[in-house]
Amino acid sequence: MNAAVDQVRRAEVRLADGPARKQLKRTRWLWLKNPANLTPKNSERFERIDQSALVMAKA
């Protein structure tokens, strides 16, 4: 499952432009880490990305 999530994330970063690309950049560990173990700052960033209309948020 982690490999599939990472593959979707990489593809979206390659295809994204402007704000979407900036939002996804350096987020690999946010998607792979257990949400219960995220710091408050990372948790907030994860929620912001997860609620967006990006394909990665759906994956």
pLDDT digits (tens, 9 = 90+) for 22-32: 877 788 888 88
pLDDT digits (tens, 9 = 90+) for 6-59: 888 888 888 888 887 887 778 888 888 888 999 999 999 888 887 775 666 565
CA–CA separation, 8 and 14 (whole Å):
10
Q: Are 44 and 50 in contact (CB under 8 A)?
A: no
SS3 string, 1-59, reads CHHHHHHHHHHHHHHCCHHHHHHHCCCHHHHHCCHHHCCHHHHHHHHHHHCCCCHHHHC
Domain ranges of the chain: 2-58
